[in-house]
Amino acid sequence: MSMLEIKNVHKSFFTYTKPRLQAGIFHRPGARKVTSELLVLRGVDLTVEKGDVVAILGPSGSGKTTLLRCLNFLETADAGQLTFDGETFDLAQASRADIARLRKKTAFVFQSYNLFRNKTALQNVTEGLIIARKMPKEQADAVGMKMLKKVGLADRADYYPRQLSGGQQQRVAIARALASDPEIIYFDEPTSALDPELTGEVLAVMRQLAEEGMTMLVVTHEMGFARNVSSKTVFMENGVVVEQAPSHEFFANPKEERTREFLRKIAHTE
């Protein structure tokens, strides 16, 4: 049985405008009119096995980040099903209790770190344990220090985000994700805001997690990571999955012409 299976995920974003006031015409307060619809996800299917590292590639605007955000209910999908550890949820109508239960099994690493600027590295890691999970502070601090050590930042526990490099801040964010003992971690372009040197230190931590068997779903532009670390690679464009395959097959023998074109363009810019 797969750890995570998603079926027929759809998501659109709408632009609204308020109607113009015209003499003799009454508009109820708050009335708005849809002026445009942007189709972002158009029926995405994906399966993730326990221990998989799945890299999601694609050009900007292909729906990669929106897909991750829908899976963790940071956005509400218009339609689709998510099955996690054998339990199926309606992505468009999941209850707050369902969402809370699912989030206890998952973690999310953002592109822009999302650290509390007024809290130390250790406090950033332990905040969710203490507040959301009601863990005693002493126990949370022990877990937090263990996770900071895991990402190579035990000596930065008392540093604030402004005192850390971008790579160190992202490693704190990974430590925070690990502290909740998730079954799967979603990574949304975790290195896109970093220069090449700092990118390497973050990818090294992710490679270590992959070797330890952590299940990860990673939106990335890092072809080396996708090729050499991920077990499966997915290529998305215009809100659909164009191609997916074991990574060694995906890069050695892509079947779709659009995938081959994308990989050729990426190769020329590396």
- pLDDT band, very low/low/confident/very high, at 245 (cuts 50, 70, 90): very high
pLDDT band of 9, cuts 50, 70, 90 = very high
Percent pLDDT > 90 in the chain is: 87
84-114: per-residue pLDDT in tens?
A: 999 999 999 999 999 999 999 999 999 999 9
Contact 173, 144 (CB under 8 A): no
Euclidean distance between CA atoms 30 and 18, whole angstroms: 8
End-to-end alpha-carbon separation of the chain, Å? 38
Distance from C-alpha of 248 to C-alpha of 101, rounded to nearest angstrom: 35
Please give the pLDDT value at position 37.
86
Q: What integer is the mean pLDDT of 125-152?
A: 97
Between 7 and 15, the more confident residue is 7
Task: Name the residue among 201, 241, 244 with its Cα closest to residue 225.
Answer: 201
Q: What whole-number distance in Å separates Cα of residue 75 and Cα of residue 92? A: 10
**Range of weakest confidence among 17-21, 64-68, 241-245:** 17-21
- Token pair, residue 225, equals 């990571």
Q: What does the mean pLDDT of the chain come to?
A: 92
Superfamily of the domain at 4-105+183-269? P-loop containing nucleotide triphosphate hydrolases (3.40.50.300)
- Packing angle, helices 166-179 and 137-150, rounded to 10: 130
Binning pLDDT at 50, 70 and 90, where does residue 179 land? very high
The reported pLDDT for the residue numbered 139 is: 98
Helix (H) or strand (E) holding 236: strand 232-237
pLDDT at residue 51, as a whole number: 96
The pLDDT score that the predictor gives to residue 16 is 73
At 270 the pLDDT is 55
Closest to 55 (Cα-Cα) out of 199, 175, 203, 265: 203
Q: How far apart are CA 126 and CA 58, in angstroms?
A: 34
Strands 232-237 and 4-17: unpaired
Residues forming a β-bridge with 45? none
Report the distance separating Cα 92 and Cα 263, nearest Å.
Answer: 34
If pLDDT is split at 50, 70 and 90, which confidence band does 268 have? low
Say yes or no to pLDDT of 34 above 70.
Answer: no
Cβ atoms of 193 and 166 closer than 8 Å? yes
In the predicted model, is pLDDT for residue 29 greater than 60?
no
Question: What global pTM score does this model have?
Answer: 0.91
Grade residue 23 by pLDDT with cuts at 50, 70 and 90.
Answer: low
**Model confidence pLDDT, tens digit, residues 202-219:** 999 999 999 999 999 999
Buried b (16+ CB within 10 A) or exposed e, 238-270: ebbbbbbbebeebbeebeeeebeebbeeeeeee
Phi, psi (deg, nearest 5) at residue 58: 155, 160
pLDDT, average across residues 110-122 = 95
Is the pLDDT score of 229 beyond 80?
A: yes
Q: Where are the domains of the chain?
A: 4-105+183-269
pLDDT of residue 2: 86
Task: Say how many residues make up the chain.
Answer: 270
Closest CA to 4 of 94, 82, 65, 76: 82
Burial of residue 127 (CB within 10 Å: 0-12, 13-18, 19+) is middle
